[in-house]
């Protein structure tokens, strides 16, 4: 068994869930490749983590660029032990000239797929388990108004995870999804503000109305989602593959 530090790639690492995941994995002595479109927040996070982190700028919608970056990560840090595909966009889409379908699906679903295939090409050899964790959403489980692109893209991730779990099982690669409900991130706050704008309420009123629909009545912290990722990558999570875990405060019970 190799004593070299394991290598994890985190997409959308500069903020929110991706940032929390990167910090948590670095705390478990993994080397972390921080991927994202905006370099400044990645560089700030790398300084916070220290020598275990390396910054790589990439737009996950660009399949060729993703392939180049993953090859570079493997060359500089070593074969890949884990991928956390977190990069994504949210927001409403409506029919017409401003329909965001292509932008949302290309980022959330296509981008996740491009990263999964690039990870596959540079994954470490076994027999130790390797892991692909995709961040989906509770909106893969149930719809809300004006989010057809987001729901479809996040539901597609669940199908992708189940398919890859079968394809990669013989190689010992675990493949799972996490479907968070509301998480206290900039993306969630923007979504709540959009709801407030659409309903003619204040941000705080919109927030209270949304959390009133969550049985536990609270919003998750990014660090709680990071803890679930860390669990899946730990020895305690080795029997999970093809699964979709639902840290949503009870807003969906399946």
Instruction: Pull the structure tokens for residue 161.
Output: 């995870």
CA angle 75, 79, 83 (to 5 degrees): 110
User: Exactly one of 56, 113, 150, 203 is catalytic; which is it?
Assistant: 150
Judged on CB neighbours under 10 Å (0-12, 13-18, 19+), 227 is middle
DSSP state of 107: I
Per DSSP, helices labelled H in 12-147 are: 16-27, 39-49, 63-77, 101-105, 111-121
203 tagged catalytic: no
Token digits of residue 172: 């010992």
Tokens describing residue 167: 């394809």
Rounded to an integer, what distance in angstroms lies between the CA atom of residue 89 and that of residue 119? 21
Owner of token pair 């999970």: 240
Given the structure tokens 């530090």, which residue do they identify?
A: 5
Number of H helices, E strands in the chain: 9, 7
Q: How far is CA 88 from the centre of its chain?
A: 7
Interatomic CA distance for residues 30 and 33, integer angstroms: 10
Q: How far is CA 116 from the centre of its chain?
A: 12
| Residues catalogued as catalytic | 150
């Amino acid at each position: 068994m190799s004593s070299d530090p394991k290598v994890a790639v985190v997409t959308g690492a500069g903020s929110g869930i991706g940032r929390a995941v990167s910090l948590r994995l670095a705390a478990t002595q993994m080397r972390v490749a921080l991927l994202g479109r905006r370099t400044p927040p990645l560089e700030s996070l790398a300084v916070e983590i220290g020598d275990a982190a390396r910054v790589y700028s990439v737009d996950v919608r660009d399949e060729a660029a993703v392939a180049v970056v993953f090859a570079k990560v493997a060359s500089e840090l070593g074969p890949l032990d884990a991928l956390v595909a977190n990069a994504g966009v949210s927001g409403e889409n409506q029919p017409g000239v401003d329909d965001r379908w292509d932008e949302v699906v290309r980022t959330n679903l296509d981008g996740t797929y491009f990263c999964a295939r690039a990870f596959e090409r540079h994954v470490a050899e076994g027999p130790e388990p390797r892991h692909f964790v995709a961040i989906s959403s509770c909106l893969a489980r149930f719809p809300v108004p004006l989010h057809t692109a987001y729901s479809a893209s996040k539901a597609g991730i669940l199908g992708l995870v189940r398919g890859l779990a079968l394809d990669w099982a013989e190689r010992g690669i675990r493949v799972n999804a996490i479907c968070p409900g509301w998480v206290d991130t900039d993306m969630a706050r923007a979504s709540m503000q959009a709801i407030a704008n659409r309903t003619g309420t204040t941000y705080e009123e919109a927030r209270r109305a949304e959390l009133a629909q969550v049985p536990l009545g609270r919003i998750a912290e990014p660090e709680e989602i990071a803890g679930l990722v860390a669990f899946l990558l730990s020895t305690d999570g080795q029997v999970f593959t093809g699964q979709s875990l639902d840290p949503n405060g009870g807003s969906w019970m399946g």
